[in-house]
Amino acid sequence: MQLTKHAAIVLSCIAVGLNAQTPITPGAVSAAEASNNPNVRVLSLDEAVRLALEHSFDIKIQQLNPQIARFRLQSSYGVYDPRLNIVASHRDFTQEGQIVGGVTNATTHQRVDGFGIGIASFPKTDRTDPNFVAGLLPTGMRYELFANANHRTGSVAKGPIDQYDGDVGFNLRQPLLRDMWIDDARATIALRKKDVTISEFDLQQVMMDKVLAARQTYFDLVAANDNVKVYEKALELANQAVADTKKRVQVGTVLPLTETSAESAAATSRADLLAAKRQRDLQENILKSMITDNYEKWHTLSIAPSERLLAVPQAYNLEASWLDGLTLRPDFNRLRAEVEQQGIQVKLAKNQRFPWLDLTFSAGRSAVASTFTGATDDVGSGRDPFWAGGLIFSIPFTFTQERNNVNAARTRMQQMEMQLQRAHQTVIISIDDAMKQAQSAYERVAATREARSFAEQALDAALKRFEQNKITSYEVLQVQRDLTAARGQEIRTLADYNKALSNLYLNEGTILRRSGLELKVK
């Protein structure tokens, strides 16, 4: 399923079916039953999970973060974008005559119309020279390509001047130490790549939390529905006891007080049934709040879970679960990515501890002529070439800033590695606890099932004794209340077992896969 119209994160069904992974099976409500009642919405666990993911406001908000992170990553590559810079200028200046060697030079007056074009990065705003700050390459090399043309007119000591001059060429500067294997631009790109990964882990975590909440709420609703049936049966038995007691009072086999006790027990059963229905309605609304972002369309519908609670035994492998948790859990992977981010900061800080040693090279052609065409011909013929090369070495006296930046980055790295170790231990402990909780819940299911069976046998025996007038209806109702409590406890432990398994899947990081879903990043 695609989460939004423009989403880059897609959930899709995978081959492994949900019922192969979870101890509940379909069969509680049929589609035919739902079709006969337009106000009943039959809902499977698969569909509940899917709807929860599709309509969750939290996911809709969170899934935009990977897109934002990708836009920021793409923007960081803009540091390598060259710019076409064009400058047109006019200068008008006068220089008074000077006495040189006892001879007075005439006053000069020049007007210079200049035009320049450069391919580089960002222009300087404090001058109109087109030789701008050089552009940047992923190797750390800075460059500029330039072309200048000037038309000079005016008067100088030797007479009037009217000439064209200019030059074309390029400048290169390649770092050999500092900024050689990493610089601010490359570090920013690497950090933002990790930001994309972290945002995807955050989205995955929100989705897993939503799947867990949807599954557990679905189990609670199934349990609440089953409880309503239990209390309906209890009320039916209580009403039957009242009817039987009235007949016995009429024939005089029991005292009228017994009838009052039976009616009291029936009233209590009605109150219990009303409470059970209220709890069912509450769980239904909680599930509705998860599976829709438009409650008005659902508030008149009753949700009928199509699956029932079962306790299917599971095969546990603690070591395999630990491996899944340390590999798949997004919260742990997020922390690991943050450690890798800090590693980039350490690498950058260590590189900045080196002095500057840059290789420079420039070359081009210049021209001077009385006409513009003559100047361009000079450039084309290469009559006045120039080139230059060299090394630039610069070193701070103390490296105070650089050394302390490295120490701070390394110390932060140690801190984050310890946090990762702590998270590692937290993951394996949480999986161990969740697995023991699931195992214990399964054992409690067996115990409550046995208790319910004994309670049923006790009720059968009590009914036989009641028919033989050996016990009162009040005593029968006491036994019946014990059976109702035993049935309710069994339902609760069945729900707890299913919820415990879901919690284990969350701690393992496998809850999406076990719910028949796969997260794909495009």
CATH code at 206? 1.20.1600.10
More confident residue, 246 or 297: 297
Across the range 270-292, mean pLDDT stands at: 92
The mean predicted confidence, pLDDT, of the chain is 83
Kindly give, in sequence order, each residue whose CB lies less than 8 Å from that of residue 517, ignoring residues fewer than 6 positions away. Answer: 11, 12, 13, 14, 49, 53, 211
- Kindly state whether residues 454 and 501 are assigned to the same domain: yes
Across the range 262-283, mean pLDDT stands at: 89
Q: Judge whether residue 416 has pLDDT over 90.
A: yes
Q: How many angstroms separate the CA atoms of 149 and 160, rounded?
A: 20
- SS3 at position 271: helix
In a domain, 516, yes or no: yes
Percent of the chain with pLDDT over 90: 48
Q: Mark which of 364, 394, 424 sits at the end of a domain.
A: 394
- Kindly state whether residues 327 and 423 are assigned to the same domain: yes
Distance of CA 462 to the CA centre of its chain: 59
* Per-residue pLDDT reduced to its tens digit, 162-184: 888 888 888 898 999 999 999 99
Q: How many angstroms separate the CA atoms of 222 and 496, rounded?
A: 12
- Kindly state whether residues 67 and 150 are assigned to the same domain: no
The confidence score (pLDDT) of residue 187 equals 96
In a domain, 165, yes or no: yes
- Kindly state whether residues 363 and 447 are assigned to the same domain: no
Q: How many angstroms separate the CA atoms of 446 and 311, rounded?
A: 9
Domain count of the chain? 2
- Between β-strands 40-43 and 302-305, what pairing exists: parallel, antiparallel or unpaired? parallel
The confidence score (pLDDT) of residue 402 equals 93
| CA distances in angstroms from 485 to 228, 478, 490, listed in the order given | 12, 11, 9
Kindly give, in sequence order, each residue whose CB lies less than 8 Å from that of residue 495, ignoring residues fewer than 6 positions away. Answer: 219, 220, 222, 223, 309
Q: Which two tokens stand for residue 6?
A: 């423009």
The confidence score (pLDDT) of residue 21 equals 38
Distance of CA 191 to the CA centre of its chain: 17
- Kindly state whether residues 383 and 513 are assigned to the same domain: no
Phi, then psi, of 273 in degrees rounded to 5: -65, -40
Instruction: For 428-457, give the DSSP string.
Output: HHHHHHHHHHHHHHHHHHHHHHHHHHHHHH
Q: Which of 20, 13, 15, 18 is nearest to 315 (CA)?
A: 20
- Kindly state whether residues 195 and 233 are assigned to the same domain: yes
* Per-residue pLDDT reduced to its tens digit, 355-379: 999 998 989 998 888 888 888 887 8
Q: Residue 309 forms beta bridges with which residues?
A: 24
What's the first-to-final CA gap in the chain, in angstroms?
13
- Kindly state whether residues 201 and 262 are assigned to the same domain: yes
How many other C-beta atoms can be found within 10 angstroms of the C-beta atom of residue 381?
A: 11
Q: Judge whether residue 102 has pLDDT over 50.
A: yes
| CA distances in angstroms from 50 to 6, 45, 219, listed in the order given | 18, 9, 15
More confident residue, 520 or 314: 314
- Kindly state whether residues 434 and 467 are assigned to the same domain: yes
The residue with tokens 């790295």 is 413
- Kindly state whether residues 169 and 195 are assigned to the same domain: no
- Kindly state whether residues 91 and 172 are assigned to the same domain: yes
Q: Is residue 180 a contact partner of residue 253, using CB atoms and an 8 Å limit?
A: no
Q: Which two tokens stand for residue 491?
A: 């339902």
In a domain, 103, yes or no: yes
- SS3 at position 24: strand
Q: How many angstroms separate the CA atoms of 346 and 445, rounded?
A: 54
In a domain, 13, yes or no: yes
Q: Is residue 149 a contact partner of residue 114, using CB atoms and an 8 Å limit?
A: yes
Confidence band of 469 (pLDDT split at 50, 70, 90): confident
Q: Is residue 144 a contact partner of residue 137, using CB atoms and an 8 Å limit?
A: no
The confidence score (pLDDT) of residue 250 equals 63
Which amino acid, one-letter code, is at 425? Q
The confidence score (pLDDT) of residue 400 equals 93
Q: Which two tokens stand for residue 88?
A: 């047109």
In a domain, 183, yes or no: no
Q: Which two tokens stand for residue 37?
A: 């009642």
* Per-residue pLDDT reduced to its tens digit, 53-68: 999 889 999 999 999 9
Confidence band of 19 (pLDDT split at 50, 70, 90): very low
- Between β-strands 99-100 and 103-104, what pairing exists: parallel, antiparallel or unpaired? antiparallel
Q: Judge whether residue 35 has pLDDT over 80.
A: no
Domain extent, residue 101, equals: 83-120+141-178+356-394
Out of 30-39, 242-251, 276-285, the most confident range is 276-285
The confidence score (pLDDT) of residue 26 equals 39
More confident residue, 136 or 320: 320
Q: Mark which of 394, 423, 455 sits at the end of a domain.
A: 394
Confidence band of 125 (pLDDT split at 50, 70, 90): very low
**Element (H or E) spanning 354, and its range?**
none
Q: Is the pTM of this model over 0.85?
A: no
Q: Judge whether residue 434 has pLDDT over 50.
A: yes
- Kindly state whether residues 215 and 287 are assigned to the same domain: yes
- Kindly state whether residues 172 and 192 are assigned to the same domain: no
Q: How many angstroms separate the CA atoms of 294 and 291, rounded?
A: 9
Q: Is residue 300 a contact partner of residue 39, using CB atoms and an 8 Å limit?
A: yes
In a domain, 149, yes or no: yes
The confidence score (pLDDT) of residue 96 equals 61
Q: Which of 344, 360, 364 is nearest to 352 (CA)?
A: 344
Q: Judge whether residue 423 has pLDDT over 70.
A: yes
3-32 as b/e: b if 16+ CB within 10 A: beeebbbebeeeeeebbebbbbeeebbeee
In a domain, 297, yes or no: no
The confidence score (pLDDT) of residue 274 equals 94
494-522 as b/e: b if 16+ CB within 10 A: bbbbbbbbbbbbbbbbbbbbbbbbebeee
Across the range 378-393, mean pLDDT stands at: 85
Q: How many angstroms separate the CA atoms of 185 and 138, rounded?
A: 8
The confidence score (pLDDT) of residue 248 equals 67
In a domain, 435, yes or no: yes
Q: How many angstroms separate the CA atoms of 66 and 239, rounded?
A: 61
Across the range 300-308, mean pLDDT stands at: 89
